[in-house]
Amino acid sequence: MLAGKPSPLGSTVDDGGVNFAIFSAHATQVVLCVFDQSGTKELAQYSLPQCTRQVWHGYLAGAQAGLCYGYRVYGPWEPELGHRFNPNKLLLDPYAKKLVGEVIEHPALYAYEPNGHDPKSLMLDLTMSDTDSAPFMTKCQVVDLNMAHLAPITALNTPLEQTIIYEMHVKGFSQLNPEISPHLRGSFSALGEPASIAYLQQLGITAVELLPVQAFLSEAFLTAKGLSNYWGYNSIGFFAPHSAYLNRGDIFEFREMVSKLHQAGIEVILDVVYNHTAEGNELGPSYSFRGIDNASYYRLNQANPRYYLNDTGCGNTLNLNHPQVLTLVMDSLRYWVQVMGVDGFRFDLATSLGREAYGFDKGAGFFDALAQDPVLSHVKLIAEPWDIGPGGYQLGNYPLAFSEWNDRFRDTMRRFWRGDIGLLPEFAHRFHGSSDLFEHSGRSPSASINFITSHDGFTLLDLLSYQDRHNLDNGEKNRDGHQENFSANYGVEGSTSDKNILACRARQQRNLLSCLLLSQGVPMLCAGDETGHSQQGNNNAYCQDNPLTWLDWQEFDQTLIGFVARLIEIRKAFPALCAQKFIHNSQSSTEPSFAWFSRQGEVMTKSHWSECHNKTLILVLSAPKEYPLQQTEANQPSSGELEPQQALLLMLNADDSAHEFAFPQLATLAPWQCLLSSETAANEDVDATAQYSLMPRSLGLFYGQIYQAGELN
C-alpha cells in the first residue's frame, strides 16, 4: 500500500486507485479491511502507512469504485480514561458515502465482554471483547463522486418568508400510494414520481422537510421486540443516504429526487442528527466513532471519562468542540448541498450543537463556522431550539441566520382552541410572528417556524380525538411519549360515530390549520394532517414502521385537503401574510398594518386583553395595493379617490357557545366578503352584514378594502 494523501478524508477514487484517509488522534495503528462485493467475506488487510497531523492515510493502487471496506483501529483499551479501541471490531468510515449490507444484532458488536459478568455490575464494560464483529456489520462502499456525468441542480432560493414546509417521512408518505409502482414505494424515487409531486403541487407546498435520511440504525432494545427505529433519529453515517430508501442501490437516486422536486418548484430540507450517534452510552455497540477515537468524537464526563455527557437523552453527545468533529459535520453539510442539491437543514436538538464547555452560546464555534461558510451561509437553517441538558431550552436565542421550531406557537394554538382561559395576549403574540421572542435581536417573522403538530406527538386528528396517549404498541407500558399534549377528545376517547363530536373535531381541524397558515412566520404542515390521518392515539410512533404511520391514500379526507389548499392559495395571494419584517399598527398608507378588535368591533384595550374568560377576537391585517389579494373592475377606486388598502379580517370564536360578531367601523369600499369559514369546508363567498354569527369553536376569514391604515387606530 502506498502512502497516499491525508486529504480529502474518506475514500477518494482517481484513475489509478483509491485514497483512504481517516482521523484518529489516539490510535496506534489503523488497518483497512477489504471485502468482497457482497460485503460478507474479508479478502485482505492493509495497514495505513502514514499518519499526518492525526490523519491516517494510504493509497490502494488498482482499487475502484464499488470496493467494500471497513477499518480496524488499534490503540489503548482504557475506558476509565475514555479510550475504547478494539481491533476485533470492524468500524465504519465516518466519511463513507454508501453502506451495504445490514447490521445483525449480536454480542460481537460490543467492544466489551459482558459474558460471565453480573449485568448489574459496575465493571460490566471494562473487559475487552475478542470476538470479531465483521460478520455482523454493514460495510462501507467506495463511490466515485465524479460529477461530470450528472446534470447540475439549480437552487430555487425560495425566500424563507414565502416558504410553506411539509414535514414528511420518505417511506410513510408513499408506501400505500396506489398510483406509485409497488417496487418504488417507500423510496427516494417514489417521492420524485409524478403522483407524489402532483399532490404536493395541489396543496401548494414549496418545501418538503424530510425526516432523517442519513444512514441510521435501530436500537437493540427495539429489534428485540420486533420493532425498528422508523423515524431515523439514530444516525451512524453522515454522508450516506439510508440504504432502505434506495430503490436501485444507487446513492444518486436521492439526487435525482431532489432534481425532480426542484423542477416542480419544491425545495428539499433535511432533518439532520449531529447531536448524537447510534452508538449510545458506554454500554452501547461499537460501530464507528467509539472505536476510531472515543475521546475525540464524544463529550465525556471530565471527572470520569468512562461515562458520556448525555445532553441529548440518547446516551451520548457528539463533541463539536473538537476541530475534527466540527470539520466532519461541516463537510457533511456541504456534501448534501453541493453534491446532493438540498436547500437547507433542520437541526435536531440544536442546543447540543451550540454547547461550549460552559454551556449554550449563540456564538459557539459551530454557529460561527456556519455563518462564515460560503456555501452553508446561504441555505435554510432551522433549529430545534432545545435539548435535555442544563439550560437546554433556548427558543429565541439563536443567531440571525437561524429559524427556530416555535413550540410556544404550537402550545398556544392548541390551548386557545381547546378553550383554555386567559390566552388572548399570548395568542396575539404567536399569531403576530412571536415578535416578543425574535424582534429584539433584529430577526424577522421568518425566524419562527410555526407548527401545530410534527412527527413527534399526536397527529392533528388524534390531538382532537384523544385526551391521553395510547402507546402500548411501543412495548414501553405506555410510559413513553409526551404526557401533556393540550389535547381534548370532545366527548369520546378515540373514534366515534357521534355526528356532533365528529363535526366539532372537523371544525377544530380547520381552525388550527387556518391559524397555522394565516399567522406571521413560516408554516410547517405535518404530512397527513391535511388528510385526516390517525395513529390511533399513539403520540410517539417512532418505532412503528407499519400502516399505523403510513399515509392511507385510499382514506384521504379530500374535503379537508381542499380546505388546506385554499388556505395556502390565500396565503400566497396576500403577501402581507408572508411579511419580511414584523408588522405593527402603522399610520402610513404605504405599510402593512395589524389591528385587534373585540367581537363587538371595538379596538382592543388593556381591559379587553385582560378578560381572562373571553375566548373571542377579531384581527385585521391590511396592506397597500402592492400587496394585492384580488383586483376587479368592480372594486377599483374611481379617479381622485383615496387608494384603498387590501385587508383580511379574521373572526375567532374559541368558546363553546355561539357569538354574534360586529364588523369594526372601518371605511370600506365594499361589504366584507367571506373567503372561508371553519363551520363548513366548502369554499363559499358570501356578503357579510353588520353582524356575523359564529357557532362554537369556529372562525371566519373575510376580504375587503379599507381606505387608510391609520383609520385602524
Task: Find the catalytic residue in 93, 271, 311, 384.
Answer: 384
| Alpha-carbon 277 to chain mean position | 17
Q: Give 633 or 518, the one with higher predicted confidence.
A: 518
Do residues 118 and 128 touch, judged by C-beta distance below 8 A? Answer: no
pLDDT of residue 184: 98
pTM higher than the cut 0.85? yes
pLDDT of residue 58: 98
Do residues 369 and 47 touch, judged by C-beta distance below 8 A? Answer: no
pLDDT of residue 359: 94
Instruction: Show the domain range for 70.
Output: 10-147
Bridge partner list, 345: 270, 381
Residue 365: name the closest of 330, 338, 335 by CA. 330
pLDDT of residue 130: 95
> Is residue 330 domain-resident?
yes
Give yes or no: residues 369 and 464 share one domain.
yes
Residue 76: name the closest of 326, 322, 305, 323 by CA. 305
Task: Find the catalytic residue in 311, 343, 348, 591.
Answer: 348
**For all residues of the chain together, what is the average pLDDT?**
93
Cell 410517539: give the residue. 540
Final residue in a domain of this structure, among 89, 115, 147 = 147
Do residues 361 and 368 touch, judged by C-beta distance below 8 A? Answer: no
pLDDT of residue 631: 39
Residue 108 reports pLDDT greater than 80:
yes
| Overall domain count for the chain | 3
> Is residue 160 domain-resident?
no
Give yes or no: residues 183 and 243 share one domain.
yes
* Tens-place pLDDT, residues 332-374: 999 999 999 999 999 999 999 999 999 999 999 999 999 999 9
Give yes or no: residues 553 and 597 share one domain.
no
> Is residue 2 domain-resident?
no
Do residues 174 and 542 touch, judged by C-beta distance below 8 A? Answer: no
CATH number at residue 14: 2.60.40.10
pLDDT of residue 711: 41
DSSP string of 297-349?
Answer: HB-B-TT-TTSB--TTSSS--B-TTSHHHHHHHHHHHHHHHHTT---EEEETT
pLDDT of residue 644: 83
Give yes or no: residues 238 and 364 share one domain.
yes
pLDDT of residue 151: 84
Q: How confident is the model at residue 125 (pLDDT cuts 50, 70, 90)?
A: confident
pLDDT of residue 638: 45
> Is residue 470 domain-resident?
yes
**Is residue 591 annotated as part of the catalytic site, yes or no?**
no
Tell me the average pLDDT across 53-57.
98
Tell me the average pLDDT across 610-628.
87
Cell numbers for 540: 410517539
Tell me the average pLDDT across 289-302.
98
Residue 637 reports pLDDT greater than 50:
no
Give yes or no: residues 571 and 587 share one domain.
no
Give yes or no: residues 567 and 591 share one domain.
no
Q: How confident is the model at residue 590 (pLDDT cuts 50, 70, 90)?
A: confident
Give the rounded percent of residues in the chain with a pLDDT score beyond 70.
93
Residue 541 contacts by C-beta under 8 Å, 6 or more apart in sequence? 230, 474, 535, 548, 549
> Is residue 161 domain-resident?
no
* Tens-place pLDDT, residues 640-662: 456 788 999 999 999 999 999 99
Residue 547 reports pLDDT greater than 70:
yes
Give yes or no: residues 477 and 598 share one domain.
no
Give yes or no: residues 567 and 587 share one domain.
no
* Tens-place pLDDT, residues 166-206: 999 999 999 999 999 999 999 999 999 999 999 999 999 99
Span of 115-124, 366-375, 425-434 with lowest mean pLDDT:
115-124
Q: How confident is the model at residue 610 (pLDDT cuts 50, 70, 90)?
A: very high
| DSSP-assigned letter for residue 699 | E
> Is residue 302 domain-resident?
no
pLDDT of residue 354: 98
Residue 712 reports pLDDT greater than 60:
no
pLDDT of residue 563: 97
Give yes or no: residues 461 and 350 share one domain.
yes
Final residue in a domain of this structure, among 522, 556, 575 = 575
> Is residue 287 domain-resident?
no
Tell me the average pLDDT across 477-504.
97
Rounded CA gap, 433 and 450, in Å?
A: 8
Name the residue type at position 191: L
| Alpha-carbon 677 to chain mean position | 30
Do residues 383 and 408 touch, judged by C-beta distance below 8 A? Answer: no
Tell me the average pLDDT across 556-577.
96
pLDDT of residue 632: 43
Residue 62 reports pLDDT greater than 90:
yes
CATH number at residue 643: 2.60.40.1180
Bridge partner list, 659: 694
pLDDT of residue 643: 75
> Is residue 623 domain-resident?
yes
**Is residue 384 annotated as part of the catalytic site, yes or no?**
yes
Residue 622 reports pLDDT greater than 50:
yes
CATH number at residue 213: 3.20.20.80
pLDDT of residue 120: 56
Give yes or no: residues 329 and 418 share one domain.
yes
Final residue in a domain of this structure, among 543, 575, 607 = 575
Rounded CA gap, 463 and 534, in Å?
A: 9
Give yes or no: residues 384 and 467 share one domain.
yes
Give yes or no: residues 176 and 115 share one domain.
no
